[in-house]
Chains A and B, each alone.
Chain A
Amino acid sequence: MTITDFTPYSALVGGALIGLSAVVLMLGNGRIAGASGIFAGLLTLEFNAEFAWRLIFFIGMLLGAAMSGIFFFSASSISFHGGPALIIPAGLIVGVGTVLGSGCTSGHGICGLSRFSLRSLAATCTFMAVAIVTVFITRHIMGV
């Protein structure tokens, strides 16, 4: 465990940029800016028009992260909880869960809630609650 500083201003700016991304993609292309859907769509390797915009979005994401990492974010502040034995199963579960549940924090939590989707509301409440309970159990009961 490492204490992280409360950073309201960068949180607001970052959150607004994520929202802007969702609005731009809906206004221009009529698509939901959901990270898991876009990434999972790339993995199908069906090279159609959908694949093209998803690949470009993906490359844009990496460029956007790299550029803002130069000016507005210190990559050395990143720290992880647990080693490969925790990270790899967690990644697997997130992959399975986001495909079954048709979305993640961006697709359900930002885009879905903003268009008043009942499914996204149910999914967001569920994954937030489960994540909070998981952290409580691992940190305060199991002590890892």
Chain B
Amino acid sequence: MAISDVKEYTHLSEEEIEALGRELDQIRADIEASRGAADAAYINRLITIQRTLAAAGRVTLFASKYPPAWVAGTAMLGIAKILENMEIGHNVMHGQWDWMNDPEIHSSNWEWDTAQPAEQWKHSHNYVHHQFTNVLGYDNDIGYGILRMAREQKWHPVNLGQPVYNTLLALLFQWGVALHDLDIESIRKGKKDPKEMKRQLRQIGRKIRRQIGKDYVLYPLLSGPAFLSTLKANAAANLMRNVWSYMIIFCGHFPDGAMHFTEEEIEDETRPEWYLRQVLGAANFEGGPLLHVMSGNLGYQIEHHLFPDLPSNRYREISLRVRKLCEDYGIPYTTGPLHRQYGQALRTIWKLSVPNSWTSNDTPPPPPSRFRGRRSDAERPPRRIETGIWQGRASA
């Protein structure tokens, strides 16, 4: 069975899937050819705004014993952290700005303002999640090893606590993310290389020391008598960032309509089929420009998954073309207002805390797929050698 047997596009012939792939390649080529001074100005301006906000927030909080200063400083710092993590850090580490050839804004050496070391994020997110998007057993982002997010995942009494775990995850999101690449599940199963685990833990420890030192020791100390109120303000700013980024990220793959895949479905996957899986496995949300900037343009999750390394400020323009393609080819394109998308994710968390038989499925199960049997090499479309297909899987 191949991915092309999934219900949503069994109506597409191999030629049509190839043609769709070419259309998407063309979008990439067009955007790459038109990247220029305006895009560079965008990210530079955004970085300036973010750093100015962060500095202003920190300075304002030296007066944090006065409530208006506390509120203003916390808001500025919280917004700065959100911008840094989402529209700047996440996207820079994806290599969206590598084309500028500016070593100060480059995926190879960017470090972000959160507890997880950039190197581990690039592995767990850029590689594992973006290559194996929504593939059960491969993509650790399906519930982050904490929540049961797919009906295909086996129920366990532990799942009854999901609503609680979910709340804790939202509040402590940066710490959850920090431990993500350790892959708790593989540690539990005793599959994790202890040497690698020690190396990762040391790296996380170093990063956490610096993050905590800054937010909970140094800046409070610098505010003198306002030690405690600055500490609380910094905690509130981190909390703002945690809850917001948690919510945006949960809207990426958990609303109804974002599909899960099995190992068999991605066997012999071609590049155009990979594209298709990205469209079917992701969900967008709608909103104005400010909402999109504050969410790192992840409201264009589908476009981000198709082209994770194209500049985020171009996703809106890309989405118009992708949406048109989906209409032309009859492929579902999941989107909706933010509150509805998050509401659906939340409903899934609650429903899947109990066994499947107690609840109804929000996405009706696909009809039995048209079984074509395994194709021989001669029957498969030619592979694109440069994409390497799945040679890298073993190292995940």
A and B: bona fide binding partners:
no
Interface residues of A (CB under 8 A from B): none
